[in-house]
Amino acid sequence: MSSNFFAQQDLARRNTRVLVVLFSLAVLMLLLLTNIVALVSLGFIDPGFFSAPRNWQSLPWHLVAWVSLVVLAAVGIAVLIKWQQLKAGGKVVAESLGGVRLSPDSKEPLQRRLLNVVEEMALAANTPVPAVYLLPERGINAFAAGYSPADAVIGVTQGCLEQLNRDELQGVVAHEFSHILNGDMRMNIRLIAILNGILFLGHIGYYMLRAGSRGSAIRAGTSRNNKQNASGLLFLALGLVVIGYMGSFFGNLIKAAVSRQREFLADASAVQFTRNPRGIAGALKAIGSHSSSSQIRSQNADENSHLFFGEAISRWAAIFATHPPLATRIKRLEPHWNGKFPTPRGAQTAAEATTDSEAAPAKPTNAERLQQALPLLLLHSSRQTEPATALVCCLLLQQDDGIRRQQLHLIKEMGSATLLQQVDQLCDAVAMLNEVQQVQLLQRLVPALKSLTEARFVQFEQLLQALLQAIPDAGLTPWLVSQFVEHSVAVQYDQTQIVRKTSAKPLAQLQPQVLPLLALISSVAGNEAQQQQAWQAALAQLALAADTAKPATDLAALSRHLPLLLAASPLVKQQLWQAIEACVRADQLIVQQEKALLLALALLLEIPYQAEADN
């Protein structure tokens, strides 16, 4: 399945280029229309000017140049402003739609069921557990937003919680995780910024029209020339409003062009995660029978309509729909569906939601991994802010008594006595987990760690670095733990940590960053001969010479290299992942430790990967 997601991420990347081309064409069209409206309204030409081809030679080209410059500047500024607003990632989108972030340890039954399902799907997709936002909307809908899995959020409407059963809710959430893995989120956020530029001219015209109507009484007694000027400005404002509607026309066409096929793909991927087509099909049927359908009432729903699970805005023409028709989507999932929507159901009660067990198993592709439920002590602790920091410390504690004493001293001095007490209470339970369960635990900690204040997180970062440095010749596992927290949690506080675009560099240019990582991975293969075997397997996969020197392990340098690897294009990441797998699988025997290693590496590098279940 991983190669499929690599291909779909690359397709989403290419769709972004198509989006830029369509945007450029739309801007050129709007530029032409704005020039015509401006020249006519300001009296430089009359409407019949364009009837004779020779008249084009006498156009006031200097004015055309100025109008074009102003229009391009206005569109560019509008795009940049929206881009700046969206820099903080998915949480900005969720908040703009009225979303309220749910506490990771919420006890409200409907919310708890949603949070459980999101955790399960994150484990199935091998991504950090995202923050969850609840939208106060009656319609049945949901969305995923962000630039990458590290800053992704899931938004779900109140109607979704109340109207869907657990299987249906799981299907909807799996659909949104498919958008995360398919690389659609980054494209969708860019679409928001780009379309804001197209619509900006219409906004200018609207405000000019309002200003003109307010000043009409003042101009009633002015001179004829002033009245003519005012009429010209009102005509210009009206023309810009019309152009704005045309911009909306182009914008909706662009959204429809780039999003509809991605919805079919996300539906199919959701079935791969849940292995239950009835879940997502049932959710679509519920939308078809619900009085509010999937409608979103927020004033920002239109610009974000392409993000949602269902059609968020009513469209007067099917060509503008951002989603395929409900019946078509259901038929693809259930070919024998009779075409009838079920009887509308009432809102679920809290009592019905509590029938969902605390660790209810999902039906993921890798069922084995999700069936390994964590002890309730660790499960509850992972959802609370301060205990979550203690659990990260536990994952870094070493078995050597001398190193462990030093690390515990650092926890007390750089953290607190309370933190040390929590570590002492939890460390035995963490030590009893197998390697795969420890990776699962790390994934679950992200929402609680993102609830830390910025000052507290900075203090926690310093403690993690000190714990890592206390380990002589620290190997791959401690580095993976610390770097995962650094990357996946730091994006909450530092926007520069968010990977917003991919690099065009081929793998050959990334060898100075790739080879040290492969050398570190090969160092955990076993004895010296096995390490060399793993190194040679990685080189062969990359088609490099067998005598390529193995670089020394430098964790600080690897940490500096990580942003370049995270920004690699999907196809380059696929090549990198094939080399990593060759390195780990060199002995042709995948044990529990190696499964966990692959999961943790994919998690850190934001590479779509799901471990194969044992037969």
Contact 134, 99 (CB under 8 A): yes
Closest CA to 232 of 244, 245, 219: 219
Reported as half-sphere exposure (CB side, CA atoms, 13 A), residue 156 has a value of: 31
Q: Is the sign of the CA dihedral 275, 8, 516, 545 positive or negative?
A: positive
C-alpha span between 147 and 403 (Å, rounded): 39
C-alpha span between 544 and 583 (Å, rounded): 14
Tokens of 55: 């008249």
Contact 170, 276 (CB under 8 A): yes
Contact 3, 606 (CB under 8 A): no
Contact 569, 504 (CB under 8 A): yes
* Residue 157 bridge partners (DSSP): 135
Contact 16, 187 (CB under 8 A): yes
Which H helix or E strand runs over 94?
A: helix 90-96
C-alpha span between 272 and 279 (Å, rounded): 12
Closest CA to 352 of 112, 32, 586: 112
Tokens of 237: 């404002």
- Residue 176 annotated in active site: yes
Tokens of 511: 């060898």
In degrees rounded to 5, what are phi and psi of residue 36? -60, -45
Q: Is the sign of the CA dihedral 494, 499, 500, 501 positive or negative?
A: positive
Reported as half-sphere exposure (CB side, CA atoms, 13 A), residue 86 has a value of: 28
Burial class (CB in 10 A: 0-12, 13-18, 19+), 549: exposed
C-alpha span between 391 and 136 (Å, rounded): 33
Tokens of 52: 């004779």
Tokens of 385: 């802010």
Catalytic residue among 119, 120, 168, 176: 176
C-alpha span between 478 and 482 (Å, rounded): 6
Residues catalogued as catalytic? 176
